[in-house]
Structure 1
Amino acid sequence: MIHAATVQACLAFALLACVSVAYGKPTGQASGRNPSKAALDADQQFDKGSGIAIHKLDGAQIENLLTLGKVWGFLKYYDPTVTSGQRQWDYELFRVLPAILEAPDRASANAVLVRWIDGLGPVPRCSPCAQLDRHDLQLHPDLGWIADTRLLGKTLSRKLQRIHGQRRVGTQFYVALAPGVGYPVFKHEPSYDDIHFPDAGFQLLALFRYWNIIEYWYPDRDVIGEDWDKVLAAFIPRLALARDSATYQLQMMALIAEIHDTHANLRSSLDVRPPVGHCHLPVRLRFVQHQAVVTGIDGTPPNTSMLEVGDVIAKLDGRPPPALAREWAPYYAGSNEAVRLRDIATYMTRGPCDEVPLTVRRGDHELRLKVSRVPLPKDYLAMGDYLAIAFHDLPGPAFRLLSPEVAYLKLSAAKASKATEYIKQAAATKGLIIDARNYPSEFMVFALGSLLVDRPTLFARFTVGDLSNPGAFRWAPPLMLEPKAPHYHGRVVILVDEVTQSRAEYTAMAFRAVPGALVVGSTTAGADGSASRVTLPGGLFTIISGVGVFYPDRRPTQRVGIVPDVVVEPTMAAIRDGRDPVLEEALRLILGPTLPISSIEGMYRSQSP
């Protein structure tokens, strides 16, 4: 078993990655800085650009570029010359690209690759050689293609198989695993901030770099839901032929969305993602029952927007919001539809700084309004999707008693140092409601979880990559909560919805393991665990979920999320009336189903400031 204190120290850093990156604070390595290794610094041939221009691609060229992308990535993580950092591997791609583009057929392109590999020098015998230990193996490397002689021809296939057979133990120049948790840290990946676009070579480099990171280092590769080879083939012309920087960034967004990971998206480039503009309507929207509903008004009174909480936006600038959501969806990475709609709703009213016509349904009436967009808050787009969204917990302090029998704690303001104090204040209650419809302000899993269990309790397992066998992922030992005093004896109810993401999901997952605990609400974001930063050409960056997170019985959480025990979906009627049906259900579960709704509402409405 992994000791809880050790894991707590590791996870407290690792699970911060999502939030730190969203604020523009890099994790893993600094963006825009070239690697310090001598071999990379000495090779400056393409510092000003790749010199590769592509105006059209035929089917044969796309096939050959696909093979190049896969071979380039395989060599990056398996060939000892590359894994020891002896070549500027990005620039080696530019050196071989022209000959691949000129090759008239597959055989000719494969011959180019054979000569290219020969230029790396002979592959020395490994001692010791890496082996694929199948014990505790969760995901195998997907390397069957290197034996496909129809694709590669006999000579190229034989060379790749020899390289694979002579791989070193734990040697990687471009990747390290973070101590303790094991999420990948992508080292020595220059961001090439000063490259001017279009540049077909650097655009293909971005595609190949990202595609191979997912192929070899993404722990949730098996639940992407897409044929990853077909994705590569589809995006080769889309990236190679992008005619300006904005198109390049949009195509990278669309590529990143293909892994269906809420942690992802091209976070450096949200200003070019639709809808585009520097202003927005001063309201908060949420998709409820397939409709875009106003859930809050920004700013202080008076309300100049003419909109009210509960209004349904039937048309925005002449178009129904569900149609806009379908059009923009390819550029929004999300593990599931609920979280994709969450993020689209957050940005939906963005646009030019002028009036926008709206058709609004208010009760039984339809209104036609013209509402002025206002400037976006400072750094709004730099914050990233998650920190721009509205939380759904109660306003006010982190902890309070909703009644003498029910305690309430919201993770967005809870402090780990006060966990014992919270439990002492809740000691006489029948139930504790933990609201995870937010992002936790601090890492609470062990500080609070240890006070909720009366025996050692398993709650999660991780999978981590294998530096000796890129593409393989192994089970780490299970994690557990160790009981500490004072112990809380009441029922625990955890509230979740589409806002519950990453650290919030992990916390809900841990507290769900408490005997008798129940999870109430709706689908969560489906992106748990620590996040790894990926730097891309042009000063761009994205992040990925860096470790696989599973229940102790090895059921997955990625894309699935924390499935509620009791499902409660928001309704338009509840939003109009200012009610919180998720919290109401939690109160019923603690106090009984016969309690009048007026008594239930009184408990939490009276707590609002």
Structure 2
Amino acid sequence: MVKYKSQKSITGKFDADKVFLALIDSVKNADEKQFNQLMIEMIGPIDPSLTASVQHYDRKNQNSYQHLLKNIDYSWIKNKGYSTALRQQLTALSNQVNLTGKHQYIPAVWYEGDLPNEAPYATYAFNQEEMNLLALAKTWNAIEYLFPYKYMMDSKWKDVLVEVIPVFRKINNRTSYEKSVLFLAEAINDTHAGGFMASKNMKMINTIFNVVYYPPFDYKVGAKSIIVKKFLNDSLAKHNELKAGDQIVAINGTKVEQWLKERMVLIPASNKSVKYRELSPVYDEGYALAFGNLASQTLNVKVARGKTHLNLKLEMLDRRNRQDIAVIQKYMTQRATVERSIKGMEHIGNDITVIRAGHLFEKDFPKDKDLPQLSADLKSKKAIIFDMRAYPQGPGFFSYYLPLVLGKAPFAFARYYAVDLKDPGAFIHREGAENYMAVIKDAPKPMGELYTGKIVILTNEDTQSMGEWFSMMLRQLNKNTTVIGSQTAGADGSLKKIDLTRCLSI
């Protein structure tokens, strides 16, 4: 609270990390009276002229449309373990208003991604309890004050803190450190937190998930089965008991539903659809988490093939074997080649146009002179299909060109909130930021009448973040719109990063 609410911290006169490290041993060894005194001294004097009542900033009277206040809960201040003097000081601090328009630990511009002035500790060796607890404190409090979806988590955030303190106290190497941060990231139920699993952040993912073996086939994870899609090459297909289309329903006597549940515990995600996605092959990283933590290279699998159930042997590839690695990499290269050949925009007959967000790049954007023809071509179609099942590679097409050529004027399709610098923990509505299209003076006007043909939007668990944002916009382009597919990733909104010890928590 001192870090995010006090005037001395707001203006850069309170180094939260240094204070934490200086006090942690004293706090651990303090009795109740000593603890209260330490906290009173740390908080220091509070300026009475900056209280909410003096500044006429009463949360109870805030407009619910303009302010998101669901995350604010200072009931913990009533803890009877705190002295009367400390409770009074904490209450006064909770009611402080920031009038500076900036903050030492919050980005000055609402859409900036990095939380400022967080030391990275680049040489840390993960072997000091106080430093590990600092990493926990930095992350936990960033979520407490700066994460708008805290009120939607499966668990109460304060209960998570109690659960993870013993976990962070046991850290003694990089593996246990990353696993602990991953455990914390999973608790916030946000698919954007999965960015922590990228190789640029996590160095020990193979060890944590024990990713040694790789299946001889490409596959897709479902709720109760692992579906064999395609073998990595013809030789593997020929010499394997399993066939493309088989559904693996049990592995080594364990039903796949339970098997997957055990392997998704540390995967940050908003919903199970994303966890199944992450358990499927991650091509750019070269691992398959659904087959992590295997005791041996040979598996006994139960397979559903049509109406028949078969008990078969499955021999896995070994990621430590050069020949096996070569097979995996060759398949990935072939798959990437196929992906690159997919057209970003394609006309199907005379009546339908398909626009694939994940395959439409800036190089594919129309020239200004070609816009009238593109507008005429699209408006002549009975239907336009928007395939949003991959991350948009050319966002400018959706935010600028598409509404322009389809005759759609800028309109509000969502509400965008950012941290309220006056009252960290609260969020305030950003006027105008919800328009999908920048309203620029002298900008071209929408071309002709609004397109009224059928609009179909395809979504699945790969529809994430910007893909979800544009799906919301496309859904309201006209009244003749249908969404077909499955649950999206649940990662709408901007990404924020905080420096911890030698890696990034997202």
TM-score by length of 1: 0.67
Contact 1:281 1:350 in 2 (8 A): no
Q: Distance in 2 between matches of 1:481 and 1:327?
A: 40
For the structure 1 residues 358 and 406, does the alpha-carbon distance in structure 2 shift closer, same or farther, using more than 3 Å as the test? farther
- 1:453·1:481 contact (CA, 8 Å) conserved in 2? no
Structure 1 residues 322 and 101: CA distance shift in structure 2, 3 A = same
Could you say if the C-alpha distance between residues 377 and 91 of structure 1 is closer, same or farther in structure 2, counting changes exceeding 3 Å?
A: farther
Q: Given the alignment of the two structures, is residue 197 of structure 1 paired with residue 160 of structure 2, yes or no?
A: no
What is residue 99 of structure 1 aligned with on the other side? 26
- Residue by residue over 1:339-363, the C-alpha shift from the partner in whole angstroms, topping out at 9 and shown as x without a partner, is 1121123322356898332525233
Question: Who is 2:413 aligned against?
Answer: 459
Question: What is the match of residue 138 of structure 1?
Answer: 68
How far the C-alpha of 1:250 sits from its partner, in A, is 1.1
Structure 1 partner of 2:331: none
- Tell me if structure 1 keeps the 8 A contact 2:71–2:151: no
- Identify the residue that residue 387 of structure 2 maps to in structure 1: 435
The CA distance in 2 between the partners of 1:352 and 1:287, in whole Å, is: 17
Q: Which 5+ residue runs of structure 1 have no aligned equivalent?
A: 1-73, 381-388, 544-609
Instruction: For 1:319 and 1:372, locate their aligned partners in 2 and report how far apart those are by CA, in whole Å.
Output: 21
| 1:288 matched residue in structure 2 | 222
Which letter maps to 1:475?
Answer: H
Letter in 1 for 2:457: I
State the shift of 1:334 in Å. 0.8
State the shift of 1:235 in Å: 1.0
> CA distance change for structure 1 residues 208 and 202 in 2, over 3 Å: closer, same or farther?
same
Over 3 Å counting, the alpha-carbon distance change for 1:289 and 1:173 in structure 2 is closer
CA distance in 1, matches of 2:183, 2:474: 35
Equivalent residue for 1:605? none
Within the candidate set 302, 313, 317, 1:372 is matched to 317
1:443-463 deviation digits (Å, cap 9, x = unpaired): 133222343354543312111
Q: Secondary structure at the match of 1:152?
A: coil
How many Å apart are 1:271 and its aligned residue? 1.3
Task: Quote the Cα distance in structure 1 between the aligned partners of 2:20 and 2:436.
Answer: 48
Contact 2:186 2:266 in 1 (8 A): yes
Q: Look up the SS of the partner of 2:505 in the other structure.
A: strand
Q: 1:208 aligns with which of 127, 131, 137?
A: 137
CA, structure 1 residues 377+402, in 2 after alignment: closer, same or farther (shift >3 Å)? Answer: farther
Unaligned runs of at least 5 residues, structure 2:
282-288, 329-334, 438-444
Give the structure 2 partner of residue 324 of structure 1: 259
Do the aligned residues in 1 keep the contact of 2:98 with 2:421 (CA within 8 Å)?
Answer: no
Q: 1:466 to 1:399 in 2, by over 3 A?
A: same
- Map of 1:446 onto structure 2: 399
User: What corresponds to 2:461 in structure 1?
Assistant: 498
Select which of 75, 81, 85 maps to 1:155. Answer: 85
Write out per-residue CA displacement over residues 97-155 of structure 1, whole angstroms, 9 at most, x where no aligned residue. Answer: 11211124x4442233223334xxx4456579866362411225625236415242211
Q: Please tell me whether the aligned partners of residues 398 and 409 of structure 1 are also in contact (alpha carbons under 8 angstroms).
A: yes
Matched residue of 1:432: which SS?
strand
Alignment partner, residue 409 of structure 1: 355
Q: Name the SS for the 1:284 alignment partner.
A: strand
Report if aligned partners of 2:214, 2:318 keep a CA contact under 8 Å in 1: yes
Distance 1:230 1:408 in 2: 47
**288-297 vs 447-456, which deviates more?**
447-456
Q: Which letter maps to 2:461?
A: E
Work out the CA distance in 2 between the residues paired with 1:116 and 1:400.
63
2:342 corresponds to which residue?
396
Identity between Structure 1 and Structure 2 (%): 22
Report the TM-score when normalising by structure 2: 0.80
**2: CA distance between counterparts of 1:409 and 1:343?**
25
1:312 pairs with one of 223, 241, 247: 247
How many angstroms apart in 1 are the aligned matches of 2:230 and 2:175?
32
Q: Distance in 1 between matches of 2:435 and 2:296?
A: 54
Q: Which residue pairs with 1:485 in the alignment?
A: 447
Q: Secondary structure at the match of 2:35?
A: helix
Pair 1:244 & 2:173 matched? yes
CA distance in structure 2 between the aligned counterparts of 1:425 and 1:374, rounded to whole angstroms: 50
